[in-house]
Amino acid sequence: MSAPVALSGSSGEPPATTRVRIPASRTATPGQRQAFAEALAAWTLAGPALFFLLALYLLPVIAVVLIALTDWQLGGRSLTFVGLTNFREVFADEGFRASLLNTIVYVLVVVPSTLMLGLLIALLIESGRSCRAFYRAIHFLPFMATLTAMAIAWETLLHPTIGPVNQALAAIGLPTANWLRDESTALPVLAIIGVWQNLGYAMVLYLAGLKGIPQDLYDAADVDGADLWLDRLRTVTLPMLGPISMFVVIVVALRALESFDAVKLLTQGGPGHASEVLLYTLYRESFEYLRTGYGAAVAVVFLAIVLTLTVIQVRVLDRKVHYQ
């Protein structure tokens, strides 16, 4: 740290001419002026993005966290700060606990099933030669279509009396069920719809991933003796799809966590709490019962789960699947 001292010491006695030209005003050196101009440009260019980031993402999150600490009701003129009361209430509520559990079960069923089926279909399409575009398109269709419209089709399919599912089951002598109104089948049926909906997305990503695997690796595996289907899959295909799989897991997990429309349209969380999921609880508490503070607390729990997933992705999985 002696160098700066020495420098300032030497500049302490500048030549007289310098003192005449630059009076004791705040005239900046060219370097300082350029730095200021650069900083101004940087803020000007980043400003709009920063504003929208704050206004659309960060401030609402902060607002939700703050609301969760109050007893505010939507439209109410007054609010009281109640600390963690809302959270205590949320976790004491049997309905919420059922909803949380349902959500976890739903995610744990939908994510692995989507992954495995998506990969299987991608492998089948990739190994075949004909009609690839057709198979791709029909599997991707559910992901593109509005679930609101699709829900009507599902409702018809699963209708207890006129639905083709029950009619087909009855025709071959199997027991039928009131799929969406039965406690034991409502959530599984929703999970199947969830898989059906996300399958195409996983498949498209896996197809892209499969195309990206260098042929050389398969050739090397061939020469090394790993030339049977399962050996090739284990030696080359699955490890090379690691990064894609991680991405698919995260995206499908988030989509599964956020599932709402199918629940709202087909079961309304019922019967009882049998098919209630987090986002549906959040919606009902906030907008039907107008308990905004309580709803905000649910939202904060939801946010915590999503954040945890993201952190896991960045910190753990990312490093493991990129083989660095």
Partner 1 sequence: MASVSIESINKNYGQMSVLRGVSLSVADGEFLTLLGPSGCGKSTLLRILAGLEMQDAGSISIGEQVVDGLRPKRRDVAMVFQSYALYPHMTVASNMALPLRMRRFSAFQRLPVLGRLLPGTARIASEIDMEVTRTANALGIGHLLARKPGQLSGGQRQRVAVGRAMVRHPAVFLMDEPLSNLDAKLRVQMRTEIKELHQRLGVTFVYVTHDQAEAMTLSDRVAVMLDGELLQVAPPQDIYADPDDRRVAEFIGSPKINMLDGVLREHGLLDVAGSALRVDADALAGTHLTLAIRPEAFHLAHQGGQGALTGSVRMIEHMGSDLFVHLDLAGINHPLLARLLAERAPHIAPGQTLHVGVRPDRVLLFTRDGRRLRRQAESGYASVTPIRETGR
The count of chain residues that interact with partner 1, using the rule CB under 8 A, is 20
Which distant-in-sequence residues (6+ apart) come within 8 Å of 81 by Cβ? 69, 70
Other beta carbons within 10 Å of 186 = 24
By CB under 8 A, is residue 323 in contact with partner 1?
Answer: yes
Q: Are 105 and 187 in contact (CB under 8 A)?
A: yes
By CB under 8 A, is residue 309 in contact with partner 1?
Answer: no
Residues 160-219 that bind partner 1 (CB under 8 A): 214, 216-217, 219
**Of the two residues 77 and 129, which places its CB atom closer to partner 1 in the complex?**
129
- What tokens appear for 250 in the block? 């995260």
**Of the two residues 6 and 223, which places its CB atom closer to partner 1 in the complex?**
223
**Which string of x and - marks every residue 242-281 that binds partner 1 (by CB under 8 A)?**
x---------------------------------------
**Of the two residues 214 and 272, which places its CB atom closer to partner 1 in the complex?**
214
Can you tell me which of 240, 256, 297, 301 binds partner 1, judged by CB under 8 A? 240
Locate the DSSP E strands across the chain.
none
**Which string of x and - marks every residue 220-239 that binds partner 1 (by CB under 8 A)?**
x-xxxxxx---x---xx--x
CA angle 8, 10, 14 (to 5 degrees): 105
Distance CA 310, CA 114 (A): 19
**Of the two residues 183 and 224, which places its CB atom closer to partner 1 in the complex?**
224
Distance CA 72, CA 292 (A): 6
Residues 124-163 that bind partner 1 (CB under 8 A): none
- Nearest alpha-carbon partner for 108 in 260, 252, 213: 252
- What tokens appear for 121 in the block? 């279909």
Distance of closest approach, residue 64 Cβ to partner 1, in angstroms = 41
Q: In the block, which residue shows the tokens 């898989």?
A: 195
**Of the two residues 143 and 218, which places its CB atom closer to partner 1 in the complex?**
218
Q: Are 165 and 157 in contact (CB under 8 A)?
A: yes
Q: Given the rule CB under 8 A, which residues bind partner 1? A: 214, 216-217, 219-220, 222-227, 231, 235-236, 239-240, 242, 322-324
